[in-house]
Amino acid sequence: MGAIRTIGVANGGGDAPGLNAVIRGVVKSAIGRFGWRVIGIRNGFDSLIWPETCLPLTWNSVSGILPRGGTILGTTNRGNPFAYHQTVGGREVIQDFSARCLENARSIGLDALVVIGGDGTQSIARDFFRLGLPVVGVPKTIDNDLSATEVTFGFDTALHIVTEAIDRLHTTAESHHRVMLIEVMGRDAGWIALHSGIAGGADIILIPEIPFTFESIARAIARREEAGKNFSLIVVAEVVKLPEKDPLGKPIPPPQPGSVANTIAFSLREMLQKELRVTVLGHVQRGGSPSPYDRILATRFGVAASELVSRGEFGRMVCLRAGEITSVPIEDAVAHLKLVDPGSEIVRTARSVGISFGDEQ
């Protein structure tokens, strides 16, 4: 392959605090260190389908974006070019635009593409790489569920937001002698719930990796009451697996993220005979300015992505291992999700300080 002259930067899936810091890291190192031109691919891979929407990225255009939440490129989680959903004449049609993307990548002169995203977006990057596009990946998700990297940027910021919310709920729960449930994001993994629950001193943490029963939750709350604590805080991961039946033996319909804590509260209310309140934090967890940790990690990832391109190491994703930035094949990075190990030290630590996972007898 010839010398690199122009690279593209794309981001896909849900946004995460630190995305702009990655873009800035890629652009500044690409221009300042390597002398390349950088083109921003808007809204997932959309600018590869419609190249007139490309956004030229200069030193100036990324200046000042380090502390900004969201992404200057825009994003979407419905933009897979291999199966693109569009509504045409009131009907949903699905089209494969991958060949068109490759053609457009060539016509706009892309010598490489940096793709920032979680498992879904990295799978698309892998598929483009298989078709011959020189791609490098940067892991992104507040869920921290990518197995190839110890941490993804956005996770630390989300933890700060959730921990602050738990702290605030604590004081009102205590004053009113209530049981408070707080539902947090994380998709299939319980990392946000587990870490924020420990940081916020939650009494019960419910995560998808550890099945719970209503009876066990009730016993944990009763134990607290016996110890003179007549309030409790329950952190609920959004896709926690619910028992099949409620305490009265009625089947529980499958809830959607956003309604899980309410479904649990509905069942617990009868059992506990206590006042319960539910807070669903939702997208607040993804918005706003990244934490210093995420700004630094995102900057390191962005610069490392440019370095991978400069060495021609395509098909690889940057990652953090033992505190060092390194890289792995994207193929391996998307092979499986990183889930909480119920037997791990961190779960043991939580149990050791009295946190219940709703599974104790």
Question: d(Cα 121, Cα 128) in Å, to the nearest integer?
Answer: 11
- x/- contact string, 64-93, with ligand F6P (CB under 6 A)? -------------x----------------
Place of tokens 């030290």: 345
Q: Which is nearer to ligand F6P, 8 or 44 (CB)?
A: 44
Would residue 46 show up in a list of annotated catalytic residues for this protein?
no
Report the nearest approach of ligand F6P to the CB of residue 187 (Å): 4
Question: d(Cα 319, Cα 144) in Å, to the nearest integer?
Answer: 12
Q: Output the CA–CA distances (angstroms, integers) from residue 147 to 124, 153, 303, 331, in the order listed.
A: 17, 14, 21, 12
By the rule CB under 6 A, 247 interacts with ligand F6P: no
Pick one of 28, 187, 300, 316: the residue that binds ligand F6P (CB under 6 A).
Answer: 187
Question: d(Cα 230, Cα 60) in Å, to the nearest integer?
Answer: 56
By the rule CB under 6 A, 195 interacts with ligand F6P: no
By the rule CB under 6 A, 142 interacts with ligand F6P: yes
- Give the type of residue at 3: A
Q: Which is nearer to ligand F6P, 141 or 299 (CB)?
A: 141
| Catalytic, out of 119, 143, 145, 246 | 143
Report the nearest approach of ligand F6P to the CB of residue 77 (Å): 5
Q: Which is nearer to ligand F6P, 191 or 214 (CB)?
A: 191
By the rule CB under 6 A, 190 interacts with ligand F6P: no
Q: Give me the DSSP letters along 296-329.
A: HHHHHHHHHHHHHHHTT-TTEEEEEETTEEEEEE
Question: d(Cα 60, Cα 24) in Å, to the nearest integer?
Answer: 10
Rg (CA), the chain: 23
Are the C-beta atoms of residues 72 and 9 closer than 8 Å to each other?
Answer: no
Question: d(Cα 151, Cα 282) in Å, to the nearest integer?
Answer: 21
Place of tokens 């707080």: 182
By the rule CB under 6 A, 186 interacts with ligand F6P: yes
By the rule CB under 6 A, 156 interacts with ligand F6P: no
Query: Which residue's CB atom is positioned nearest to ligand F6P?
Result: 185
Q: Which is nearer to ligand F6P, 22 or 185 (CB)?
A: 185
Are the C-beta atoms of residues 260 and 244 closer than 8 Å to each other?
Answer: no
- x/- contact string, 290-329, with ligand F6P (CB under 6 A)? ----------------------------------------
Count of residues interacting with ligand F6P (CB under 6 A)? 12
The two three-digit tokens of residue 358, written as one number: 């709703």
Residues at the site binding ligand F6P, with contacts judged by CB under 6 A: 14, 77, 118, 141-143, 185-187, 238, 257, 286
Residues designated as active site? 143
